[in-house]
């Protein structure tokens, strides 16, 4: 069966969803989207240093178009995170996927340098927990963000002379460009995120169920799992056509399954966001 692509309006007649992965599992990007949707539902502060307000699927710059996540930041500004999802992403010079990743990141930066430099936009690579070398790549990108001057960044990396230095050498070779200052800028706009979402017994899946269950009093793990499955199914429905999920659309999609008590009520979440919007407007006057 042909894959549905952006702009394709054909009707799916098969019982097999076109975005289903091998072995009967939902592909990794939908597991990541489900995780981010739960973070949005619970209004949690995320690893991206903000609260998710919406997730658009199959949207973004080339190479980072699995999802675009809009964040509300603590300073009341917003940031867009353009996401690439890969269960396994080698961060090595011999990986054609890594060469392409850096090339795509370079093009994204060149197409909108002001927004990326100001922190209004970033790129993210979500990888599986067993993807090779993700720890040192995360450390290298974190260091690049924390070090404004390229000379200082390189000094710290070269002083390490360990796995961090080795990862930097892989980046230099894969980048295929002698401009180390630009490579430093590219690493600074990339966030590497490792998640364990392979199956119901995976650590992050269990954590999601536990967090969702706390939205009911008393905790309701059965309702949490049912809601999680419904969210995933809803994302599968809207994803192939570039759909966007936000609190309002999520309520329309799975509203009858959402918790309706305590701090996680839809009315409570919408009220907090409405108040935050008023503060942003007042602050701009």
Mean pLDDT across 214-221: 92
Mean pLDDT across 232-253: 91
- Selection from 25, 19, 162, 173 nearest residue 91 by Cα: 173
Q: Three-class SS of residue 266? A: helix
Which of 105-109, 177-181, 238-242 shows the lowest per-residue confidence on average (mean pLDDT)? 238-242
Residue 263 pLDDT exceeds 90:
no
Mean pLDDT across 254-281: 58
In which element (H, E) is residue 245 found? strand 244-245
Angle at 68 between CA 180 and CA 66, to 5 degrees: 85
According to the model, what pLDDT value does residue 271 have? 54
- Selection from 92, 155, 103 nearest residue 84 by Cα: 103
User: Phi/psi at 3 (nearest 5 deg)?
Assistant: -75, 135
Cβ contact 240:32 at 8 Å: no
pLDDT tier for residue 281 given thresholds of 50, 70 and 90: very low
According to the model, what pLDDT value does residue 264 have? 44
Residue 38 pLDDT exceeds 70:
yes
Angle at 59 between CA 54 and CA 64, to 5 degrees: 105
Give percent of the chain with pLDDT exceeding 90. 66
Better-predicted residue by pLDDT, 22 or 149: 149
Mean pLDDT across 83-112: 94
Mean pLDDT across 32-58: 92
Mean pLDDT across 187-211: 92
According to the model, what pLDDT value does residue 268 have? 53
According to the model, what pLDDT value does residue 1 have? 30
Mean pLDDT across 11-23: 35
According to the model, what pLDDT value does residue 262 have? 42
pLDDT tier for residue 259 given thresholds of 50, 70 and 90: confident
Residue 145 Ramachandran class (φ > 0 left, ψ -120 to 50 alpha, else beta): alpha
Q: How far apart are CA 171 and CA 167, in angstroms?
A: 6
pLDDT tier for residue 23 given thresholds of 50, 70 and 90: very low
Better-predicted residue by pLDDT, 10 or 169: 169
User: Phi/psi at 129 (nearest 5 deg)?
Assistant: -60, -25
Residue 265 pLDDT exceeds 50:
no
Better-predicted residue by pLDDT, 156 or 4: 156
């Amino acid at each position: 069966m042909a894959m549905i692509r952006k702009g394709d309006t054909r009707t799916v007649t098969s019982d097999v969803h076109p975005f289903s992965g091998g072995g009967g599992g939902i592909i990794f990007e939908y597991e990541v989207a489900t995780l981010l949707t739960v973070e949005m539902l619970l209004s949690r502060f995320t690893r991206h240093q903000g609260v998710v307000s919406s997730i658009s699927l199959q949207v973004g710059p080339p190479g980072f178009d699995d999802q675009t996540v809009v964040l509300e930041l603590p300073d009341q500004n917003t940031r867009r995170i353009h996401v690439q999802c890969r269960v396994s992403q080698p961060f090595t010079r011999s990986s054609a996927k890594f060469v392409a990743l850096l090339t795509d990141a370079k093009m994204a930066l060149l197409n909108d340098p002001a927004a990326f430099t100001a922190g209004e936009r970033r790129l993210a690579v979500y990888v599986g927990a067993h993807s090779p070398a993700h720890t040192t790549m995360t450390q290298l990108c974190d260091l690049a963000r924390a070090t404004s001057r390229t000379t200082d960044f390189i000094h710290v990396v070269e002083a390490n002379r360990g796995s961090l230095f080795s990862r930097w050498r892989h980046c230099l070779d894969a980048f295929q460009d002698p401009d180390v200052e630009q490579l430093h800028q590219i690493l600074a706009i990339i966030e590497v995120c490792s998640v364990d979402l392979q199956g119901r017994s995976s650590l992050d899946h269990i954590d999601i169920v536990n967090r969702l269950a706390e939205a009911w009093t008393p905790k309701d793990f059965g309702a949490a799992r049912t809601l999680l499955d419904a969210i995933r199914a809803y994302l599968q429905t809207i994803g192939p056509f570039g759909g966007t999920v936000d609190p309002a659309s999520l309520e329309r999609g799975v509203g009858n399954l959402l918790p309706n008590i305590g701090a996680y009520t839809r009315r409570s979440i919408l009220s907090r966001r409405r108040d935050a919007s008023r503060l942003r407007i007042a602050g701009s006057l």
